[in-house]
Amino acid sequence: MTVHADAGARDDRVRRVTILGSTGSVGQNTVDLLLRNREAFEVEALTANRNPERLAEQARALGARFAAIADPAHYTALKQALAGTGIETACGAESVVEAARRPATWVMAAIVGAAGLAPTLSAIKRGVIVALANKEALVCAGVLVMQEVARCRATLLPVDSEHNAIWQCFDRARVDAIERIILTASGGPFRERNFEDMRGVTPKEAVAHPNWSMGAKISVDSATMMNKGLELIEAHHLFQLPLDRVEIVVHPQSIVHGAVVYRDGSVLAQLGSPDMRTPIAYALAWPDRIEAPTKRLDLAAVGSLTFEPPDERRFPALRVAREALIHGGCCPTVLNAANETAVHAFLEGRIGFLQIVETVERTLDRIPEGKLESLDDVYNFDTAAREVAARLSGIRASPRAPGLTDLR
């Protein structure tokens, strides 16, 4: 994880904030915290894809300077909703990148999917604090993103609850003393289903996560456990640890979010109610802490916490993601793009639940392995993987993640 010692000190007293993906689940939780802590923050820019009403409402409530909507079809609605407010508006994938380039000192990267990569990189290039929820950016271009973080002296703060938990327990001054890190997984809604019974799972069942309220894509990823596979890759890049020092444990209560195991056998863990406002608040105020209105943990009421190993026979996504990282090069990019396409096809009712991971594996088999040395390579492998996965899923290919165009 890249946290520069002077990063907190460099920040202004009133933090100027931009939220990329403010209308989504993480984005709305961030807006909620900003509204509760108005005196400590001012808002530079907010972005959305297809929800001009919510974007306009947030921009008004927070007094944002700039509101960008990626899909131009919704620009008129945004302009009308913000007429007379003095809030600047723009549309298109490039306007989201422009939002990331504006002078905020803290940027929340909360766009879903590889579409978040270009704007996230634009914020990183400004050398500011980037709170990263958009795990797909690290999965599809991890080495390149981390190189940019170091080159531009940006500060990358993990928002994913597991990585945020590990970060809170991770002694950066004594990395040598760290043996391994532990990511917990809820196991998703089908933790106890047998493999064959998962064949008929509907999108509605798959998005109904037992503990967390999240966007549709990450909810399906949690149900297949691809989410934990993506997080394994994310953790490897953030904490710069080899795979054999990143452990995954299923913990159905989602109370222990992550832990760090030290050489002397000590295990430091972070606990809390499953509410994203805790990790977001930690990143938002870092290195301070602010009030978050989350349900306080009552350990006696929780009673017992249980842990079990993941079952990779029923949830092959974990193995597929691990193998993609071991193969390296373009494989994680292909994994991510194929998964985004297959999840989309599943949500559209075009493929079954078990076909999601099958499609990812078949796409990986069909695309010859190659090196990932530039953002052009990311763009090309992402596009190729989307085409293959779309063909396998019987849907029309979305040629690339919208937003990736800006990498060229």
Ligand X SMILES: NC(=O)c1ccc[n+]([C@@H]2O[C@H](COP(=O)([O-])OP(=O)(O)OC[C@H]3O[C@@H](n4cnc5c(N)ncnc54)[C@H](OP(=O)(O)O)[C@@H]3O)[C@@H](O)[C@H]2O)c1
Q: Which residues bind ligand X (CB under 6 A)?
A: 21-27, 48-51, 70, 96, 110-112, 115, 133-136, 160, 212, 214-215, 217-218, 276, 402-403
Pick 214 or 378: Cβ nearer ligand X:
214
Minimum CB separation from ligand X for residue 137, in Å? Answer: 8
Pick 218 or 232: Cβ nearer ligand X:
218
Compute the distance between CA of residue 91 and CA of residue 68 in angstroms, rounded to an integer: 5
Phi-psi region of 372 (alpha: psi -120 to 50; beta: other; left: phi over 0): beta
Compute the distance between CA of residue 216 and CA of residue 213 in angstroms, rounded to an integer: 9
330 DSSP 8-state letter: T
308 DSSP 8-state letter: B
Pick 139 or 351: Cβ nearer ligand X:
139
Compute the distance between CA of residue 317 and CA of residue 224 in angstroms, rounded to an integer: 7
Pick 122 or 134: Cβ nearer ligand X:
134
Pick 28 or 355: Cβ nearer ligand X:
28
Minimum CB separation from ligand X for residue 19, in Å? Answer: 8
User: Which one, of 102, 332, 301, 161, lies nearest residue 237 by Cα?
Assistant: 332
Q: Which two tokens stand for residue 159?
A: 């928002």
Compute the distance between CA of residue 34 and CA of residue 280 in angstroms, rounded to an integer: 10
CB 218 within 8 A of CB 206: no
Compute the distance between CA of residue 106 and CA of residue 129 in angstroms, rounded to an integer: 5
Minimum CB separation from ligand X for residue 26, in Å? Answer: 4
Pick 176 or 398: Cβ nearer ligand X:
398
Pick 75 or 199: Cβ nearer ligand X:
75
316 DSSP 8-state letter: T
Distances from the Cα of 302 to the Cαs of 161, 267, 305, in angstroms? 19, 21, 8
User: Which one, of 124, 71, 127, lies nearest residue 95 by Cα?
Assistant: 71
Pick 140 or 259: Cβ nearer ligand X:
140
Minimum CB separation from ligand X for residue 67, in Å? Answer: 11
CB 116 within 8 A of CB 234: no
Compute the distance between CA of residue 251 and CA of residue 162 in angstroms, rounded to an integer: 12
Minimum CB separation from ligand X for residue 166, in Å? Answer: 13
Pick 212 or 262: Cβ nearer ligand X:
212
Minimum CB separation from ligand X for residue 350, in Å? Answer: 19
Query: Minimal CB distance to ligand X: which residue?
Result: 24
User: Which one, of 378, 382, 390, 305, lies nearest residue 351 by Cα?
Assistant: 390
Distances from the Cα of 132 to the Cαs of 44, 69, 120, 252, in angstroms? 18, 20, 8, 24
Pick 78 or 169: Cβ nearer ligand X:
78
Minimum CB separation from ligand X for residue 69, in Å? Answer: 7
Query: Tokens 């350990």 sit at which residue?
Result: 299
CB 104 within 8 A of CB 18: yes
Minimum CB separation from ligand X for residue 231, in Å? Answer: 9
CA geometry: angle 290, 27, 228, nearest 5 deg = 95
Minimum CB separation from ligand X for residue 245, in Å? Answer: 22
Minimum CB separation from ligand X for residue 55, in Å? Answer: 7
